[in-house]
Amino acid sequence: MSTTFSYQKLFDFSRTIFIKIGCPEADAATAAKALLSADLRGVDSHGVARLSGYIRLWEVQRVNAAPAIRVVHETPSTAVVDGDRGLGLVVAPFAMQVAIDKAKQAGTGWVSVRNSNHFGIAGYHAMMALQHDMIGIAMTNASALVAPTFAKERMLGTNPIAVTIPAGAEPAFVADFATTTAANGKLEILQRKNQDAPEGWVLTKEGEPSTNANEIKNGGMLLPLGGDKEHGSHKGYALGAVVDIFSAILSGASYGPWVPPFPAYIPMPVNMPGEGLGHFFGAMRIDAFRTAGEFKDHMDNWIKRFRSAKTIAGQERVIIPGDPEREMETERMQHGIPLLQPVIDDLQSLADKFGVVL
């Protein structure tokens, strides 16, 4: 059961809540826009369903609502940003803008971020580059849920990577994916439906293969993209590791099993080797390589050729990364965003707490 809300209504509500906890007005709008982009694009696990989670982090003083986000080190094409414990939803757009500004001058810009919190969906931040005719890259580490190949211990987060690439007449290429076989949100969908997970998604607490969609709640682990060694899980593990290192060891954030958890009720790791979560952003100006016109013509050609590839039985078309999310955004911007009753109840609690009308 779900009820549909307009984008504008959920945006206004989220923005108001962020203002209520003390975010400056501009930051509140930035955060609400980043948060809602997940709902628009169909990544329901990362949108308003998490609003109360962000607020709880503020309540336990792990989120600073009015941070002094600043560049602490830079070269012509790089910077390190300290997020001052701000919402990742605010810190990430700041840092991505630094990457874009660097790219305007130096051809590319690369920004590693420490002392931040969860930033919503990676794709939103990477997409900021598109309007500047730049390729955008965004990644983040996250609290440990994933067992590296051969391990039975939570060592890495789902550590997503987003890469956005401008095209011409065709829509942009927008890849945004967790470096695990399946994101945690996919398991939550199966849990609600009382269904099993496919093999290769999770391990039990003891490190045995499992198809129980509730395994994470039992102390189990997610598996890196590939699932097991025979199917290349060492590659998914390496990708997740690269995200962790670029996001946290370049910047001075915490990493690996020491990344701060999103749920505010879970205690912080002891002996954290760095400050907060880490992110990494990149922007590459297309015309730092060739003219944007030539590049876009070839991207259109690439996209059309891939879209028209012959399909396996039962499939109508080959998908270009970003297709489903873009179609969802058009649909939801027009017809609204459906929310499940538990999410609505959660938002109503926030409304009551802060004296706001949902």
Q: Residues 6 to 65: which contact a copy of itself by CB under 8 A?
A: none
Tell me if 136 contacts a copy of itself by CB under 8 A. Answer: no
| Among 14, 52, 108, 158, interactor with a copy of itself by CB under 8 A | 108
- Cα angle 295, 124, 154; round to 5: 115
The residue among 66, 55, 67 whose CA lies nearest residue 17 is 55
Tell me if 319 contacts a copy of itself by CB under 8 A. Answer: yes
Q: Which residues contact 139 (CB under 8 A, 6 or more apart)?
A: 122, 159, 160, 161, 162, 243, 246, 247, 279, 280, 281
Q: Which residues contact 53 (CB under 8 A, 6 or more apart)?
A: 262, 263, 264
Nearest distance, CB of residue 22 and a copy of itself, angstroms: 31
| Among 31, 89, 138, 203, interactor with a copy of itself by CB under 8 A | 203
Q: How many CA atoms lie within 13 A of 311 on its CB side?
A: 9
CB closer to a copy of itself, 151 vs 340: 151
Tell me if 225 contacts a copy of itself by CB under 8 A. Answer: yes
Find the part of the chain contacting a copy of itself (CB under 8 A) among 92-100, 125-133, 220-228, 347-355.
Answer: 220-228
CB closer to a copy of itself, 124 vs 201: 201
Tell me if 274 contacts a copy of itself by CB under 8 A. Answer: yes
Find the part of the chain contacting a copy of itself (CB under 8 A) among 40-48, 124-132, 180-188, 333-341.
Answer: 180-188
Paired residues of 174 in beta bridges = 164
Phi-psi region of 183 (alpha: psi -120 to 50; beta: other; left: phi over 0): beta
Find the part of the chain contacting a copy of itself (CB under 8 A) among 8-16, 33-41, 196-204, 334-342.
Answer: 196-204
CA 283 to chain centre: 17
Tell me if 241 contacts a copy of itself by CB under 8 A. Answer: yes
Q: Are 90 and 56 in contact (CB under 8 A)?
A: no
Nearest distance, CB of residue 73 and a copy of itself, angstroms: 7
Q: Which of residues 277-296 bind a copy of itself (CB under 8 A)?
A: 284-286, 288-290, 294-295
Paired residues of 62 in beta bridges = none
For 326-353, b/e burial (b = at least 16 CB within 10 A) is bebbeebeeebbebeeebbebbeebeee
Find the part of the chain contacting a copy of itself (CB under 8 A) among 5-13, 59-67, 188-196, 229-237.
Answer: 229-237
Distance CA 162, CA 147 (A): 22
Find the part of the chain contacting a copy of itself (CB under 8 A) among 37-45, 253-261, 336-344, 346-354.
Answer: 253-261
| Among 88, 120, 136, 148, interactor with a copy of itself by CB under 8 A | 148
